Amino acid sequence: MTFLEEAKALYRSINVKPAITASGSTTAYGGTKLRPEVMDAMNKAASVMVDMKELNLAAGRIIADLTGADAGLVTGGAASGMTLQAAACIAGSDPGKMNQLPDTQNLKNEILVHKSQRFLYDQCYRAAGAKLVDFGEGRRCSTWEFESAFSDKTAAVNYLFSPFLSRLALPLNQVCEIAHRYHVPVIVDAASFIPPRANLRRFIAEGADLVIYSGGKGVRGPQGTGILCGRSDLIEAAMANASPNPFLGRGMKVSKEEIIGLITALEIFVKEDEQAETDCYYAMGQAVTDALENIPGLEVRVKHDSHDYLIPTALIHFLPDYPGPSRNEVLHIMAQGDPPIFLHSLGNPDDLAVDPLNVSEEELVIVIDRLKDVLSGR
């Protein structure tokens, strides 16, 4: 058997179906496929023991160099990085305050957030004891609304970059300028906002004090890692709150193998030819479009922008006169097959999409054939 056949057999041996993930870097479906070089580096790292503090500091210097930040830290996924962002801003490196978390009584514990940027993972900030304070309206915000939200309890301002988010919030550079006038740090969640690779440096350059990215999405590092970068004092505080120290982040452990895997993946990621990668994804999306464009009641095109579809993606729009199964029925049927095929469904409720990030050329043929059958009602 080939390596891939052996890998699929491994999952089938415990009655788990190997799947095709055409939904992007979805955590629920395993994130992204690890690079072979990353697996090799992790295997080698597993056979050697090191001082974790020394390793964290060394990895942090590499992250800082590649992001343009003062310092960096490998975290246990982007979610734990968010919790450490909050802990760093609320408790700093003070052992008494760190030991008090998540009880934030008598501490500055408020994190300001655009109302239009509230989302499911806000709880990661609340896990550190933060109280989230909304400002603005559901779709937009004025500067006076933002400035009115500051108080003597304000510990940080949160800013979210994520696909399918309202773009009418105050721009990040303006948020940073105002927050810094109040001597308040700005923490950015950009977990799913790379590629493009330019975003690794963009938010620090615009004034953010701490930025978190997923290590297991576009970077294609270990699924359980995150990339935290920012101001030296805040990274030092995040590290103090994190494993292996006995504070709030103790359970958010990152193994030495994962740290090596993450920095290996990140170094490869920044050196890759992004245009060649984009051209490949566009060709895959166009193959989907060519195969489906004549099915009545559908509009199919390749979508690529800097906000919602960060890599070229085949977008399938269901028109009112489409005679086949509903969008949700198609989603369900595709996921129930063998192999299960998971499609991108985060945008318009009348849209489905094929995101090629985790799809091989061989898998794309299977996706297209199944879509043609299902969408044609066969």
pLDDT tens string, the chain, 378 residues long: the values are 888 888 888 899 999 999 999 999 999 999 999 999 999 999 999 999 999 999 999 999 999 999 999 999 999 999 999 999 999 999 999 999 999 999 999 999 999 999 999 988 999 999 999 999 999 987 778 999 999 999 999 999 999 999 998 888 999 999 999 999 999 999 999 999 999 999 999 999 999 999 999 999 999 999 999 999 999 999 999 999 999 999 999 999 999 999 999 999 999 999 999 999 999 999 999 999 999 999 999 999 999 999 999 999 999 999 999 999 999 999 999 999 999 999 999 888 999 999 999 999 999 999 999 999 999 876
222 and 281 housed in the same domain: no
151 and 185 housed in the same domain: yes
Domain that holds residue 326: 3-30+274-375
308 and 356 housed in the same domain: yes
Domain boundary among 243, 271, 299: 271
Q: What is the pLDDT of residue 378?
A: 62
CATH code of 48's domain = 3.40.640.10
222 and 91 housed in the same domain: yes
Q: Number of structural domains, the chain?
A: 2
* 84/91 Cα distance (integer angstroms): 10
In this structure, are residues 124 and 79 in contact, taking their beta carbons and an 8 Å threshold? yes
114 and 17 housed in the same domain: no
Q: What is the pLDDT of residue 4?
A: 86
18 and 95 housed in the same domain: no
Q: What is the pLDDT of residue 139?
A: 77
283 and 188 housed in the same domain: no
Domain boundary among 271, 301, 319: 271
Maximum alpha-carbon separation in the chain = 66
Q: What is the pLDDT of residue 178?
A: 98
Integer-rounded Cα Rg, in Å, for the chain is 22
261 and 322 housed in the same domain: no
212 and 77 housed in the same domain: yes
178 and 254 housed in the same domain: yes
226 and 110 housed in the same domain: yes
CATH code of 323's domain = 3.90.1150.110
246 and 117 housed in the same domain: yes
Domain boundary among 271, 290, 316: 271
Q: What is the pLDDT of residue 138?
A: 77
